[in-house]
C-alpha cells in the first residue's frame, strides 16, 4: 500500500497541512515537540481509527478548536503473489476481493476521519459514510514501531492480546465484528453478575449470555491460534536474522480455554462444551467479583528465547531478557506483522518508525533497514537529525529518501 497524500486540520499541533508523499522513504526530522510523532499518529489513526498514544479523542484536537479532520489518498501496490500462493486464513479470500474492488487500476482510495468534541467519530470511504468500524479497519494497513512497542514484551497480557487482535483485524475485518459482539456480551454478562449479586436479578438470566460468549469465544480462540502459529514462524525467522542466529525465539499461546485447531464438528463440540462447563464452574466466583473469569478476554501469549541447541532452557523474555533482547524480540514481532499482512492480503503495509534509531545498535538497525528494503514497504521515519538516520544505514543501502523538516506543526523544508 502507498500513502499518496495526507491532510490534517486541527489535529494535535497541526492547524492546516496538506502534504504529498511520492517517495518510498520519508525521513521526518525536527527538534522535540515540533510534531514529528503527531504526523505519524495521524497516519496511524486513518488506518486503525485510534491513536497509539492516548485513549482520549479530545487530546487529538488542536487546543483552540473543537474538531479535527484527516484525509488520506491511498494507492495499492500490485501484489507479487497470486491468490493460490497466499497462505489461506479465515475469510482471507473475502478480504482480498475487497482490496481489489477498492483499488481499481489507476484509481485512488480516499479515506476521511473526523471528530467533534460533542460528537462521534465519523469515517468516510470514497465519500460514503461508513456506519460500522469493521468497514473501515483493514482498508489502509500500517505497522508502527516505536519505543512504546516494548510493551509487547514487557507489558501485561492485555497488551499482547490487543496486538494480536489488531493484526487479525487488519487482515480480516470480519473478525472485528466478532470481537465486538463478544465484548458486548461480556459487558452485559458482567453487569448482570453485579445485579444478581445485589439480589436484583435472577441467576437464570445468565444462561443466554453464557451461550453468546461460547458461540463467539470459541471462534475467537480458533482464529487467534491460527494467527499466532503464522506469526510464530515469521517472527522466529526475523529474530534469527536480527541476532545472526545466536538465539531462537518461540511464541506460546496460553488460552483461557483449550485451543481450537480444527473445523471438525466433533472437536468443535468438545470445545463448546468445555467453555460452557468452565463458565458454570466459575459462576460462584464470578458472582462474588462481578466479572467473568474465563474466556478469550483472559488469553495470553508468551515469548521465550533459547540458544540454538534444542536442549537448552527456554527463558521468558519478559522476565529474564536483557533490554537488548527485549527490543530485538519486539522488533521481530513487528517484522512478522509486516510479513503476515503482506502474505495474507497481497499488499505491503505502510511502515511507521517513530524514534527507533536511538533504540537499536548499528548492527540491528542496518539489518532492519535491509529487511524493509527487501519488503519494498513505504517508510515513514522520525529522527532529530538527518545524520542520525544516515549513520544507521547499511553500506549497500542506495535508495533515495525524502527529507521533511517539521517546525511547530509546519513543514519548513
Over 70: is that where the pLDDT of 99 sits?
no
pLDDT at 367: 77
pLDDT at 81: 33
* Among 258, 290, 264, CA closest to 277: 258
**Please, which pLDDT band fits residue 147 given cuts at 50, 70 and 90?**
confident
Over 50: is that where the pLDDT of 90 sits?
no
**Residue 35, all three cell numbers:** 510534531
SS3 306: strand
Over 80: is that where the pLDDT of 95 sits?
no
Please indicate whether residue 270 or residue 73 has the higher confidence score (pLDDT): 73
Q: Supply the mean pLDDT for the chain.
A: 87
pLDDT at 101: 39
With contact defined as beta carbons under 8 Å apart, do 189 and 210 qualify?
Answer: yes
Please indicate whether residue 82 or residue 77 has the higher confidence score (pLDDT): 77
Entry pTM: 0.88
pLDDT at 260: 60
Alpha helix ranges (H) inside 5-74: 36-48
pLDDT at 162: 95
Please indicate whether residue 134 or residue 114 has the higher confidence score (pLDDT): 114
pLDDT at 372: 79
* Among 139, 134, 135, CA closest to 75: 139
Q: What percent of the chain has pLDDT over 90?
A: 69
Give the CATH fold of the 149-346 domain: Glutathione S-transferase Yfyf (Class Pi); Chain A, domain 2 (1.20.1050)
pLDDT at 268: 79
SS3 69: strand
Would you give the DSSP letter of residue 61? B
Over 90: is that where the pLDDT of 83 sits?
no
Question: Mean pLDDT across the stretch 270-291?
Answer: 94
CATH class belonging to 1-77+108-141+347-413: alpha beta
Range scoring the smallest mean pLDDT among 181-190, 260-269, 278-287: 260-269
pLDDT tens digits for 361-396?
Answer: 777 777 787 777 788 899 999 999 998 888 777 776
* Spans of all domains in the chain: 1-77+108-141+347-413, 149-346
pLDDT tens digits for 197-214?
Answer: 999 999 999 999 999 999
pLDDT tens digits for 226-270?
Answer: 999 999 999 999 999 988 899 999 999 999 886 665 556 677 788
Range scoring the smallest mean pLDDT among 84-88, 184-188, 271-275: 84-88
Over 50: is that where the pLDDT of 89 sits?
no
Q: What percent of the chain has pLDDT over 70?
A: 90
Full strand arrangement of the beta sheet holding 248-254: 248-254, 300-306, 315-316
Amino acid at each position: 500500500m502507498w500513502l499518496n497524500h495526507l491532510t490534517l486540520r486541527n489535529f494535535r499541533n497541526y492547524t492546516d497541512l496538506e502534504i504529498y508523499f511520492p517517495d518510498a522513504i520519508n525521513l521526518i526530522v525536527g527538534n522535540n515537540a515540533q510534531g514529528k510523532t503527531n504526523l505519524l499518529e495521524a497516519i496511524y489513526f486513518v488506518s486503525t481509527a485510534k491513536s497509539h498514544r492516548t485513549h482520549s479523542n479530545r487530546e487529538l484536537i488542536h487546543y483552540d478548536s473543537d474538531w479535527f479532520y484527516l484525509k488520506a489518498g491511498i494507492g495499492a501496490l500490485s501484489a507479487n503473489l497470486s491468490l493460490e500462493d497466499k497462505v489461506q486464513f479465515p475469510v482471507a479470500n473475502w478480504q482480498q476481493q475487497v482490496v481489489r474492488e477498492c483499488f481499481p487500476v489507476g484509481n485512488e482510495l480516499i479515506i476521511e476521519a473526523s471528530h467533534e468534541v460533542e460528537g462521534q467519530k465519523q469515517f468516510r470511504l470514497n465519500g460514503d459514510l461508513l456506519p460500522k468500524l469493521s468497514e473501515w479497519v483493514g482498508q489502509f494497513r500500517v505497522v508502527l514501531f516505536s519505543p512504546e512497542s516494548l510493551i509487547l514484551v514487557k507489558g501485561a497480557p492485555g497488551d499482547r492480546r490487543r496486538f494480536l487482535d489488531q493484526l487479525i483485524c487488519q487482515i480480516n475485518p470480519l473478525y472485528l465484528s466478532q470481537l465486538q459482539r463478544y465484548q458486548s456480551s461480556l459487558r452485559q454478562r458482567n453487569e448482570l453478575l453485579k445485579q444478581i449479586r445485589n439480589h436484583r436479578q435472577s441467576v437464570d438470566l445468565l444462561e443466554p449470555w453464557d451461550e453468546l460468549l461460547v458461540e463467539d469465544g470459541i471462534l475467537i480462540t480458533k482464529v487467534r491460534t491460527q494467527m499466532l502459529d503464522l506469526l510464530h514462524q515469521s517472527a522466529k525467522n526475523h529474530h534469527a536474522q536480527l541476532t545472526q542466529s545466536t538465539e531462537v525465539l518461540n511464541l506460546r499461546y496460553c488460552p483461557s480455554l483449550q485451543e481450537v485447531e480444527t473445523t471438525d464438528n466433533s472437536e468443535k463440540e468438545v470445545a463448546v462444551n468445555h467453555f460452557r462447563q468452565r463458565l458454570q464452574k466459575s459462576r460462584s466466583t464470578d458472582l462474588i467479583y462481578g466479572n467473568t473469569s474465563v474466556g478469550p478476554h483472559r488469553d495470553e501469549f508468551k515469548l521465550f528465547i533459547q540458544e540454538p541447541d534444542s536442549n537448552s532452557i527456554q527463558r521468558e523474555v519478559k522476565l529474564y531478557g536483557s533490554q537488548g533482547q527485549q527490543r530485538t524480540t519486539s522488533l521481530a514481532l513487528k517484522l512478522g506483522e509486516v510479513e503476515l499482512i503482506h502474505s495474507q492480503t497481497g499488499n505491503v503495509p505502510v511502515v511507521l518508525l517513530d524514534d527507533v534509531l536511538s533504540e537499536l545498535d548499528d548492527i540491528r538497525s542496518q539489518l532492519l533497514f535491509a529487511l524493509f528494503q527487501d519488503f519494498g514497504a513505504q517508510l515513514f521515519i522520525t529522527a532529530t537529525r538527518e545524520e542520525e538516520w544516515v549513520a544507521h544505514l547499511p553500506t549497500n543501502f542506495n535508495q533515495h529518501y525524502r527529507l521533511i523538516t517539521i517546525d511547530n506543526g509546519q513543514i519548513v523544508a
